[in-house]
Amino acid sequence: MEGMVVLGRTSFVYTLLLWSLKDCWCAVMVTVTPKVDAIKGETAILPCSFSSPVTLGNTFIEWFIEEGGSRKRVAFRTVSGATEGIDEGNQLSGRVSMGQNNSLLISPVRVEDERRFHCQVTAGISGTGEATTKLSVFFAPEKPVLAGSSQPIPVDQTPSPQVGQCTSRNGFPAPRLIWYKNSNPLPEVKDHNEPTYMVSSVVKEASGLFTVSSTLYLRPKKKDKNAKFRCTVEYSMPNDTIDQQNSESFTLNLLYPTEEVTFSLMNSVPVKEGDNVTMKCVADGNPEPTYDFTFINKGKETPKHATDGMLTLHSVTRADNGTYRCEALDFDAKDIELTKELKLIVHYLDPVKITPAGSHVVPLGESIQLECKTKGSDVHTLEWKKGTATLSNSGMLMINSASYADAGLYICESSVFTVPGLYARGNVTLRVSGKPEIAPAPEAKVHNMGDTVTLSCSAYGYPDPQFSWTPSGKQAVMVQENKVISTLTLEATETVLNGGVTCEATNEHGKDTQQFMVVISKESSTDNGGAGRADKQQGGAAGVVVAVVVCVLLLLLLVTLLYCLQKNGKLPCGKEDKKEVASGDIKNDIVVEMKSEKAKEDTELLSKHPATEQ
Ligand SMILES: *[C@@H]1O[C@H](CO)[C@@H](O)[C@H](O)[C@H]1NC(C)=O
Ligand SMILES: *[C@@H]1O[C@H](CO)[C@@H](O)[C@H](O)[C@H]1NC(C)=O
Ligand SMILES: *[C@@H]1O[C@H](CO)[C@@H](O)[C@H](O)[C@H]1NC(C)=O
Ligand SMILES: *[C@@H]1O[C@H](CO)[C@@H](O)[C@H](O)[C@H]1NC(C)=O
Ligand SMILES: *[C@@H]1O[C@H](CO)[C@@H](O)[C@H](O)[C@H]1NC(C)=O
């Protein structure tokens, strides 16, 4: 009907246009985003667009809210922008504007802006259209804060005591608090008769934001002593997102009586005298009780002082062997044994005792018996040793018909295999007395008469022999194990070379003499002067080896040649009898002859060599 009126007032062309669009000619289609999410304090954009058959500059777009039971306009404009404005006197005043695309901009968004907004378009002849947007406002609450009672809580208390309070401030919409025990959520229980329940509250702040808090009541068990409690705030955010923030976690300071006492030795290896020993007593109650320690030995009880349940004994002796008792002083404990005992075994080994004791002098050829003894807490070994050799595995050591070689240090060692580090050791020195015995000596060599020569005269015998030399010279004496060695340095005079030198060793048991020969060594006399010697020295071992190899090769060649000649009859054999033996033997014979000659040369060459190096 209205279309007919308009028809009369407008041009024909325009009418045709309307008719061609007749499917929607009478409708203004308004499109908005039905649901807009915004965060408090930020900017919310509420888009609005429309379509109409004819859009004229004076098409009018208005945004409305509902306030106090009636519609109030908050902003408006015409498509051309010729007219536009903001309405005063509503809760959005001062915070809204309209974009050229007809969006409503709210900045900053407040929680009370959560409401419905209507975008209305009035397009003259095309009529009016409208669409509604719902604005939702969000605001993340603060991290939850725990106000825990740090008071100790006795277990199994009735009614359930308060164990913690959790508060999360300023969220929108109102967030939810969830309690966790060891990362398992606790179901929300409101019934105060249950062992575990929560009391929650929600407070709306002046800002419109919500502060939520929850108090947890529970009846803790001993097994909850290490349980970690916390609370979590769960809240909605734009785009259907759910976020969480966790509080710090806390454990309960539970009070419970001792149910078990343990008393144990901390040492990992068997205890021996001199060790430090630690014994630990632990009662599983909270608070941990104090302890009383007692040492019980042969019915006598001695109190022991200890701190924190640790009884430490320094450098124990066998007197510390015995029973130790720990008593946990927990007066809340019921029907349990608060006393524990521990047997401390201190292993020991006495110092070894050797009889006869001290140092001994045994006449040459006589016998001696040594006995080694010790006492200990355990089975132990007894070993007699001289140097690295083990002589006896019992405590007895028998030396029959003592020789000078038997003189020396004898060690008796005792050990307990089951107790590492437990051993005892003693020793005895044995001397064999008798007349001196001089060890035979090789002849001494000099290069030339008049050279200095040093002779060593080594004699067994105890008491230590005295030495005298004829002829005499510069003398020195040293003691080596069970021998005494006298060294003499003198000039190899003609007398010395002809008559030798005599060493005489004497002690109270008798004497021994030994003649030392001094000779001019052959090598030094065949030495033919400076130049030759220098050459030989330079040639060295390599020269000798080359010479030997060449000689052998030449000899082999010669042998082969001789053999061939003889076999062909070109060379008559020198000896009659050689003709009679088989040809194979002849060959062997010759080889043997040559070899022995070669060997002689070799020895000469080799023996010369060390002489040249001197
Ligand atoms: C409308 O205009 C505003 C600024 O005037 C802009 O922020 C917004 O993104 C625009 N919206 C659309 C749907 O174009
Ligand atoms: C919400 O989702 C829309 C589209 O999925 C995205 O453009 C926008 O950034 C999201 N907003 C937030 C706050 O995540
Ligand atoms: C025993 O304890 C004392 C003092 O703490 C320490 O000096 C000593 O080295 C310890 N002895 C042993 C064998 O551990
Ligand atoms: C050491 O003490 C233990 C335990 O009380 C006991 O069995 C043992 O006979 C004692 N040993 C010695 C040598 O006293
Ligand atoms: C022999 O025993 C003595 C005295 O007990 C001791 O001082 C000495 O060190 C021991 N000698 C050896 C080599 O064990």
Span 18-71, pLDDT tens digits: 444 444 445 899 999 999 999 999 999 999 999 988 777 789 999 999 988 899
Would you say the pTM of this structure is higher than 0.75? Answer: no
Phi first, then psi: give them for residue 86, nearest 5 degrees.
Answer: -120, 140
What the block records as the tokens of 242 is 């759910």
> Nearest-CA neighbor of 453 among 485, 490, 487, 486?
490
Report pLDDT for 7: 39
Rounded to whole angstroms, the Cα distance separating 161 from 295 reads: 44
CA-nearest residue, atom 2 of ligand 5: 427
Report pLDDT for 428: 94
H/E element holding 62?
Answer: strand 60-67
Whether the Cβ atoms of residue 373 and residue 353 lie closer than 8 Å to each other: yes
Q: Which atom of ligand 2 is nearest to the CA of 39?
A: 13
What the block records as the tokens of 47 is 């888009």
Q: What is the CATH number of domain 145-255?
A: 2.60.40.10
Domain 23-138, what architecture? Sandwich (2.60)
Mean pLDDT split into 10-residue runs, the chain, 614 residues? 40 45 65 97 96 83 93 94 92 94 96 96 89 97 88 89 95 97 95 95 96 95 92 96 96 92 96 97 93 93 92 96 95 88 96 91 94 95 94 94 93 95 94 92 88 92 92 90 90 90 94 92 52 41 57 73 64 43 40 40 43 38
Q: Which amino acid is at 33?
A: T
Rounded to whole angstroms, the Cα distance separating 28 from 60 reads: 12
Which residues lie with the beta carbon below 6 Å from any ligand 2 atom?
Answer: 238-239
Report pLDDT for 580: 40
C-alpha distances (whole Å) from 216 to each of 227, 334, 464, 509 are: 14, 30, 98, 105
pLDDT (tens digit per residue) in 120-178: 999 888 889 999 999 999 999 999 999 876 788 999 888 999 999 999 999 999 999 99
φ/ψ region of 195 (left if φ > 0, alpha if ψ in -120 to 50, else beta) reads alpha
Any atom of ligand 3 within 6 Å of the Cβ of 276: yes
Any atom of ligand 1 within 6 Å of the Cβ of 101: yes
Terminal C-alpha separation, the chain? 148
Q: Which residues in the chain are classed under CATH 2.60.40.10? A: 23-138, 145-255, 261-331, 353-434, 439-522
User: How many whole angstroms from 180 Cα to the centroid of ligand 5?
Assistant: 72
Q: What is the CATH number of domain 261-331?
A: 2.60.40.10
Q: Report the CATH superfamily, name and number, of domain 439-522.
A: Immunoglobulins (2.60.40.10)
3-state class (DSSP) for residue 187 = coil
Any atom of ligand 4 within 6 Å of the Cβ of 343: yes
User: How many whole angstroms from 101 Cα to the centroid of ligand 1?
Assistant: 6
CA-nearest residue, atom 4 of ligand 3: 314
What CATH number does domain 353-434 carry, 2.60.40.10, 3.40.1000.10, 3.40.50.720, 3.40.50.300? 2.60.40.10
Any atom of ligand 3 within 6 Å of the Cβ of 275: yes
CA-nearest residue, atom 9 of ligand 2: 239
User: How many whole angstroms from 357 Cα to the centroid of ligand 5?
Assistant: 13
| Probe target for ligand 5 pocket from 427, 428, 429, 481, with the most ligand atoms within 8 Å of CB | 427
Which residues lie with the beta carbon below 6 Å from any ligand 5 atom?
Answer: 409, 411, 427
**Within the chain, how many helices (H) and strands (E) appear?**
7, 44
Report pLDDT for 552: 67
Whether the Cβ atoms of residue 358 and residue 428 lie closer than 8 Å to each other: yes
CA-nearest residue, atom 3 of ligand 5: 427
Long-range contacts of 331-337 (CB under 8 A, 24+ apart): 332/257, 332/258, 332/285, 333/257, 333/258, 333/259, 333/285, 334/257, 336/258, 336/259, 336/260, 336/261, 337/261
Rounded to whole angstroms, the Cα distance separating 322 from 180 reads: 51
SS3 percent helix, strand, coil of the chain, rounded to 5, is 20, 45, 35
